[in-house]
Amino acid sequence: MTRYMFFSGKGGTGKTTMAATTAVYNARQGNRTLIVSTDPASNLGDIFECTIGHKITGIADNLFAMEIDPDQAAAEFREGVIGPMRGIFPEDILEVMEEQFRSSCTTEIAAFDRFTDFLSSEDYDLVVFDTAPTGHTVRLLELPVDWSKYMEESRNKGSQVKLGPVSAIQGAKEKYDKAIAVLRNSATTEFYFVLRPEKTSILETERAQNELKALSIDNFKLIVNGIIPAEEAHTPQYAKMAAMQQRYLETIEQTLSQPAKLVYLQGGEIKGLLNINKMADIMYEGKSEAITGAYDKGEPFAGFAAVGSFKEMLARDNGQRIIIFTGKGGVGKTVTACAVAVHLAREGNRTLLVTTDPAAHIAYVLDHEVGGKIQAVKNVANLYAARIDQKVVVESYKAEIIANAQKSGYSPDMVAAIKEELESPCTEEMAVFEEFSALISGDSFDYVVFDTAPTGHTLRLLELPYDYAKQVEMLVNIKHDTSSATSAAKEKLQKLVAKIKDKAVCTFLLVFYPEYTPIFESKRTYDDLQEAGINIQGVIANNILSLAGDSTEFHKNRYFMQQYYLKVAQKQFDVPMYGISMFDEEIIGLASLLQIENELFS
């Protein structure tokens, strides 16, 4: 019987590395093993130092890998439905069908449909899922439940949804029911949460577990990663951090109460089969071999932009300015966004800080409750914060669509059909975008600072405007050439896209760690945004180490690794680069944020 392992956790905790290490170890034991990435911003190929992509690729003996590409999955899904109809239906009918399938909803359906294929595979002894950060992983695992429930309700009402991609999965209920059973079967399925001994990581793990328990999924195990080695715990560079980690290890034991594997920080990167195999020896066979790097010990990096230029970049004229932070999960986007928002507010600007990340870490960093409604942040005049709460905005969006349909004089049957379509999980993505666009379109704040979800999901959000008018048209089931509602939606979206692309109004900033994976994931985001006509205006290297006379070999290894990658980053990004030092304690509360503000602006 095939076994399944899911690896998830807060961004930047090392879940891809832990998933890859586990897959390598099991393949070495003679188990035919497949590792699948469900993260739109997958870096599985970076870890294995090879090209994987949207196909099953052999990596080593008994080891295979695949990165589910949402766009390719959507194209395959679309062709799988429309292909058999070619030569049977007229071209104009096929064109209408293809148009219906070119939506964000199709992408979500196709990606999760491909994911469920692997939950019924008998070709492997073990399937390891390397998933997106926890908020999106929970959503992925909810989807089979949501779609199964949705199709059952539609069937009970004697109706079939006729709108493109949704109708295409009506016959798949049995497949999704089996997927649900696999997810809930603790005899075959295990969920590994990878976390670091930090407050935000613990809180997110606890929240994600509670949400999965609500789906009757509860076979959890923990991997606590990034622990300072015992021999470094009393050095000047790591003593405070090691003491903090020890406190949080005790908290993990008390609050999560699950088996935990402890994994210690290494002096070098864990990428490439050689080092992944070494990591497997350390994790699963208890070997003491350390992973180190061989990096040039030449001149320190000296390519940071002048500090004053950061302030100049964010300066506004008379109108509103929008600042959007993006980057790989766990690299410090939230902390940086909060520090910038605090600075702007302290300068006398009326500033709104918003997160579109389901995990909503800004509440932890600000040490202040952040809800779905805009509210003032304590201790910082002029600063306000809000979280785009997915569940709340979905209900509001549904109510607005139905009210508009009723006002427009649609028949009761048509209104009932719209209500049914709005129960589709696809509605969530559109509702979040509506809220996002409303915040950008307003003018009651001098600055709006967005702490976004990790890169792959950010790109999906920013791609929505380009096909949203088609989705609106499909949703209300009216013709393009007679729809004033669709024309108004298109005009609104054109203005929004122009605003996002205007460098004088909107500034995009990438945050990364000076390590291989965060840099090259950031470069992919940089290129993708540029292709969409959006230019990154600056990059911020976070968590930078300094070198002292009493530095240990372990610390020197990590320091020179960072210096090497700062030089690599300078070649990758043709924009100003700024730096933030590594702090030996968590950034929580105003006092900590002021330290980062000082580094960026002083």
What are 80-126's pLDDT values in tens digits?
Answer: 767 777 777 677 666 666 655 555 556 666 777 777 788 877 889 99
**Which residues span the domain enclosing 274?**
3-285
pLDDT score, position 418: 74
- Helices (runs of H) and strands (runs of E) counted in the chain: 22, 16
Q: Which of 46-50, 396-400, 441-445 has the highest mean pLDDT?
A: 46-50
Q: Does residue 118 share a domain with residue 14?
A: yes
Q: Does residue 434 share a domain with residue 338?
A: yes
Longest dimension (CA), the chain: 79
Residue 229 within a domain: yes
Q: Does residue 325 share a domain with residue 260?
A: no
Q: Does residue 203 share a domain with residue 149?
A: yes
Residue 315 within a domain: yes
Does the pLDDT of residue 433 top 70, yes or no?
A: yes
Closest CA to 36 of 77, 1, 83, 4: 4
Q: Does residue 215 share a domain with residue 77?
A: yes
Token output for 299: 């001149």
Q: Does residue 275 share a domain with residue 319?
A: no
Q: Does residue 209 share a domain with residue 326?
A: no
pLDDT tens digit string along 186-245? 999 999 999 999 988 898 898 888 888 888 888 899 999 999 999 999 998 899 999 999
- For residue 490, what is the domain's CATH number? 3.40.50.300
Contact, 86 vs 95, CB < 8 A? no
Least confident range from 61-70, 240-249, 328-337, 466-475: namely 466-475
pLDDT score, position 168: 47
Residue 296 within a domain: no
- The whole-angstrom separation of Cα 287 and Cα 273 is 17
- The whole-angstrom separation of Cα 110 and Cα 416 is 26
Residue 295 within a domain: no
Q: Does residue 314 share a domain with residue 272?
A: no
- The whole-angstrom separation of Cα 212 and Cα 216 is 7
Domain count along the chain:
2
Residue type, 157: K
Q: Does residue 477 share a domain with residue 337?
A: yes
Q: Which of 254, 285, 316 is the last residue of a domain?
A: 285
Residue 298 within a domain: no
Does the pLDDT of residue 69 top 80, yes or no?
A: yes
Least confident range from 298-302, 331-335, 418-422, 436-440: namely 418-422
Contact, 522 vs 325, CB < 8 A? no
Q: Does residue 326 share a domain with residue 234?
A: no
SS3 315: coil
